[in-house]
Amino acid sequence: MFWPMLAIALGFCGTAVLGILAVRVFAEVRRLSREVAEASRRITRAAEDLERAATPLAAQLPREG
């Protein structure tokens, strides 16, 4: 009777560990997605700033043709 009970207890512990690790992975994925979204917003903002800064300079270039 000892071995079946031990097997059940170890199975439960293994399932609990996998559940805890799954929750941690889920939390890290959410954190990573927030970081990626923030980086995307920063890149978009920087591209817009660059376009605004380059527009007057492009207007000053001599036209060919």
Structure tokens at 31: 């954190």
With respect to residue 34, please indicate whether it lies within any of the assigned structural domains: yes
What pLDDT, on the 0 to 100 scale, is given for residue 15? 98
* pLDDT band per the 50, 70, 90 thresholds, residue 65: low
User: What tens digit of pLDDT does each residue of 10-64 get?
Assistant: 999 999 999 999 999 999 999 999 999 999 999 999 999 999 999 888 888 787 7
With respect to residue 1, please indicate whether it lies within any of the assigned structural domains: no
Domain that holds residue 28: 22-53
What pLDDT, on the 0 to 100 scale, is given for residue 59? 82
Number of separate domains in the chain: 1
DSSP state of 61: S
CA 45, 51, 52, 54 dihedral sign is positive
Q: How far apart are CA 28 and CA 52, in angstroms?
A: 36
